[in-house]
Amino acid sequence: MKQTHEQKFSENFKQIPKSFIREILNVAGRENMISFAGGLPNPEFFPVEALSKSASEVFAQYGAEVLQYAGSQGYLPLRKWIANRYSQKFGVEINPANIVITSGSQQTIDVVAKMFVNKGDGVIIEKPSYLGGIQALSAYSPSFLPVNLEPDGPDLLQIEAHCLNHVPKLMYSIPNFQNPSGVCYSQQKREALADLLKTYQLILLEDDPYSEIRFEGADEKPIFSLVPEQVFWSGSFSKMVAPGLRMGWVVMPDNLCAHFVRAKQASDLHSNNLSQYILYHFLSNNSIDEHLQLVREAYKKQRDCMVRALKMYLPQAKYVLPQGGMFIWLQMPVNINTDKLVEQTMKSGVAFVPGKSFFTTNTGENFVRMNFSNACQSEIEKGIKIIADVLTR
């Protein structure tokens, strides 16, 4: 019997869930659609002129060199910039030799999973968790071990129980303004988690794309700074500068860089060389902190606007107020199925991401992830009111 192409798909590929976010963005991009769906930075703050100038000067200085193949670990001056910034910011010694430039944090998740996860291996994951992380990890057929999120971080007793009962290899977490919940781990939870990592020799993949867009409260040190021998600490320039650059980075434990590079080479040889040069030039000739301050101030206003609208039009929704990041995670009444709700709101011109996409278990039907960073304040208020009107109907 003749097989179709689809029937020949690998078992690993079949494990990857669809991205509701990517599918919904095709619809959310329609004219006059108010979108709270994607995790999109506000393009109003993309430094177009400065990046354009950096691109011109990079070509003028380096010419064809930046269009050639390059080393897999990444542009050394950019790795030094990352090491210097975060060594000073968090008081932790970071060696550029332990940094690899990636094509965004999504690639880091994939490469770390490729290095460590065999079919059936235990992977501890937050409940809920980032859909892109679930997708990347699912390709390696792990046994997901979910842990509940509390207002100040994960349930540590659940983590320890998983370590005792399942001997997991890896934990994946987003400690700062977690996607989708907005939860930020407290210092106490970070220290306790670091102790668990040491005790059970558990590897942590610390996904940290949002820490630079904190608009309230004091910065928390990364878990990497507490137990660097157990942590892959992943950052991204997508939220700091612009996602179209597809630039991220990961700091890893000593002696693992060559292994990470080998696994990465199997995917893409090296990250975009031209983007690395342009980004480094931009960072070296402009104040990233002045740029980030503009972003933080704007996102705080947008968050506050969404909170006001929620209180006015959707008082039945519960949420943790995020001190940074780009999302508000709504818990609707249990009788609300948000998959069905979004079908109706899109007919009225509003898109969001239903909560079920962020769980590895078959749950979350009454949750909603709302992105506040990519809509103006008038759109935010109008969109929340439309959702409320559809619920009423």
**The pLDDT of residue 30:** 67
Token readout for 197 is: 């990592």
Q: pLDDT by residue (tens digit) across 271-301?
A: 999 999 999 999 999 999 999 999 999 999 9
- Structure-derived torsion over alpha carbons of residues 43, 44, 47, 48, reported in degrees to the nearest 10: 80
Query: Quick one: average pLDDT of 31-59?
Result: 92
Helix-helix angle 338-347:377-392, to 10 degrees = 120
Q: pLDDT by residue (tens digit) across 71-104?
A: 999 999 999 999 999 999 999 999 999 999 999 9
Query: Quick one: average pLDDT of 61-75?
Result: 94
The answer to whether the 6-46+289-392 and 48-285 domains have the same CATH topology is: no
Instruction: Calculate the average pLDDT of the chain.
Output: 93
103 close to 124: Cβ distance less than 8 angstroms:
no
Question: pTM value?
Answer: 0.94
- What's the CATH number for 6-46+289-392? 3.90.1150.10
Share of the chain above pLDDT 90, in %: 85
What are the two backbone dihedrals, phi and then psi, of residue 172, each rounded to the nearest 5 degrees?
-110, 125
**What letter represents residue 361's amino acid?**
T
Q: Which of 131, 197, 188, 185 is CA-nearest to residue 154?
A: 185
In this predicted structure, the answer to whether residue 28 has a pLDDT above a threshold of 60 is: no
**The pLDDT of residue 23:** 61
Other C-beta atoms within 10 Å of 65: how many? 12
Q: pLDDT by residue (tens digit) across 319-365?
A: 989 999 999 999 999 999 999 999 899 999 999 999 998 999 889 99
**The pLDDT of residue 20:** 61
Structurally, what CATH architecture does the domain formed by 48-285 represent?
Answer: 3-Layer(aba) Sandwich (3.40)
Domain ranges across the chain? 6-46+289-392, 48-285
